[in-house]
Amino acid sequence: MEDHCLSACTYLFLAGVKREVAEDADLGFHQPTALGLITGKDIIREMVEYYRSVGPREWFIDRIVATPPDEMWYPTQRELKDGGVSTVEP
């Protein structure tokens, strides 16, 4: 990734096998927003299950869940690597 990927875009990024984040790129995470008939707890549970299936460490997922939907967490390059998100050194 060379520019920025925020919010739901991270689902697509994490679907990749070889995941690389450029030094100046923004990868932003936050808790999902519940829409329609899905409750907030249900959508968070679904997000956590998906993230667990694609590789981030549990502490990284916990940090995403702790970030409110109206905020954005931009992990550092070290956090991305240690958290199992970036699979390639920048």
Q: Tokens standing for 64?
A: 């995403």
* Alpha helices, DSSP H, located in the chain: 9-14, 40-54, 58-66, 77-82
Please return the burial class of 55, using the count of CB atoms within 10 Å of its CB with bins 0-12, 13-18 and 19+. middle
* DSSP class of 60: H
| Residue pLDDT tens, the chain, 90 long | 558 899 889 999 999 989 999 889 999 999 987 665 556 788 889 999 999 999 899 999 999 999 998 899 999 999 999 999 998 865
CA distance 53 to 13: 13
- CA end-to-end span of the chain: 10
